[in-house]
Amino acid sequence: MDDSHAVVVGAGIGGLSAALALHRRGWRVTVLERAAQAREVGAGLTLMANALRGLDALGLGPAVRRGGHAEAPGGIRDRHGRWLSQVDGAEMTRQLGTTALGVHRTTLHRILREALPASVLRTSADVEHVESDPDHAEVRYRGTDGPHTLTADLVVGADGLRSRVRAQLWPRHPGPAYAGSTTWRAAIAFPEPVPTAISWGPGAEFGMVPIGDGQLYWFGALNAPPGGHAPDELAALRERFGDWHAPIPALLAATPPGVVLRNDIHHLAVPLPSYVRGRVALLGDAAHAMTPNLGQGAGQAIEDAVVLGAVCVGGAEGVPAALAAYDEQRRPRSQAIARASVTAGRYGQQLRNPLAVAVRDTALRLTPARAALRGMARYADWRPPAG
Average pLDDT of the chain, as a whole number: 95
Tens digits of residue pLDDT in 297-349: 999 999 999 999 999 999 999 999 999 999 999 999 999 999 999 999 999 99
Phi, psi dihedrals of residue 77, rounded to the nearest 5°: -125, 165
Helix, strand, coil percentages for the chain (3-state, nearest 5): 40, 25, 35
Q: What is the DSSP string of 37-53?
A: S----SSEEEE-HHHHH
By three-state DSSP, how is residue 156 classified? Answer: strand
What are the residues whose beta carbons fall under 8 Å from the beta carbon of 159, sequence distance 6 or more?
9, 10, 15, 34, 127, 165, 166, 286
Residue 193, classified by CB atoms within 10 Å of its CB into exposed (0-12), middle (13-18) or buried (19+), is: exposed
d(CA 224, CA 180): 6
Identify the bridge partners of residue 121 per DSSP, sorted by sequence position.
31
Summarised one tens digit per residue, pLDDT across range 241-267 is: 999 999 999 999 999 988 999 999 999
User: pLDDT tier at 98 (50, 70, 90 boundaries)?
Assistant: confident
User: Does residue 40 carry a pLDDT above 80?
Assistant: no
Pick from 151, 50, 73, 68: which is nearest to 108 by CA? 68
Mean pLDDT of 196-213: 96
d(CA 34, CA 53): 29
